[in-house]
Amino acid sequence: MSEWNSPAVAVPAGFHADFYLAVGAEHRSLLDNGSGMVASGRGAGGSCYFSPDGSGSPEEFLAAWRADTAAVGGTGLIALFSSDHDFARPACGERTADQLGPVFAFLLTWPALPGIHCGDEIGMRFVTGPPDTEGSQIWPGWNRAGSRTPMQRDDGPNAGFAAGYPLVYTRGGTHLVVINPSRDPASFPRPWAWPESAGPVH
């Protein structure tokens, strides 16, 4: 996979996939709400599509996508990431973690190779105002450190991640998934939305 931000060039050149860099106009038109990193000439040029006020347009992204898919044809893939370590995370400014559902619904259903910048999946925020450390500021006002903070943890079991077996979650509010990689049986208290008649989840 290349990171040329030019699938129409990279894939015919022999790469299996190329991705739209988060700093590129195609990606910025979807997610850059102007609240993360700012540099002269690098603004989103208007409201981004995933704006809570619904004022953005997907047209800039779609124009690039149509041109690149036509050039790539069936020879490779275009990758689309939630963000990267050079650009603000989706949870940035007025866009909060609870508003990321549409972002990931798009990312995981669009006919691209999806990628998730570690931490975006749990709604980690872009941190404003960190010090410039080890060259994190590559242009004036463009400090990448806010997207490079340590993975969010707490002092709970397993640092706030999965607390032992089984791993239980829902998909789309309609499917209950129970994962138990242990050789031993495991049980879990009935989730609140699971029918009471079903009893515990085993």
Domain identity same for 129 and 183 = no
Query: For residue 71, what are its two tokens?
Result: 């050039």
Please give the residue range of the domain that contains residue 178.
Answer: 157-198
Domain identity same for 73 and 100 = yes
Is residue 152 in some structural domain?
no
Q: Compute CA 138 distance to the chain's CA centroid, rounded to the nearest angstrom.
A: 22
Residue-level pLDDT at 131: 85
Domain identity same for 135 and 176 = no
Host H or E run for residue 31: helix 25-31
What is the C-alpha to C-alpha distance for residues 135 and 104, in angstroms, rounded to an integer?
A: 30
Residue-level pLDDT at 38: 64
What is the C-alpha to C-alpha distance for residues 53 and 51, in angstroms, rounded to an integer?
A: 5
Is residue 180 in some structural domain?
yes
Is residue 64 in some structural domain?
yes
Residue-level pLDDT at 181: 84
Residue-level pLDDT at 200: 57
Domain identity same for 20 and 119 = yes
Is residue 72 helix, strand or coil?
helix
Domain identity same for 166 and 107 = no
Query: For residue 152, what are its two tokens?
Result: 């969010």
Residue-level pLDDT at 163: 63
Domain identity same for 37 and 123 = yes
Domain identity same for 49 and 92 = yes
Is residue 98 in some structural domain?
yes
Is residue 2 in some structural domain?
no
Residue-level pLDDT at 43: 47
Is residue 104 in some structural domain?
yes
Instruction: Count CB atoms within 10 A of the CB of residue 115.
Output: 16
Domain identity same for 97 and 167 = no
Domain identity same for 137 and 161 = no
User: How many domains, the chain?
Assistant: 2
Domain identity same for 70 and 16 = yes
Domain identity same for 140 and 101 = yes
Is residue 117 in some structural domain?
yes
Reading the chain (202 residues) residue by residue, the pLDDT tens digits are 999 999 999 999 999 999 999 989 999 999 998 888 765 444 445 689 999 888 899 999 999 999 999 999 999 999 999 999 989 999 998 899 999 999 999 999 999 999 999 999 989 999 988 888 778 887 777 888 999 988 888 787 777 766 678 888 878 777 888 888 888 888 887 766 656 555 555 5
Domain identity same for 19 and 82 = yes
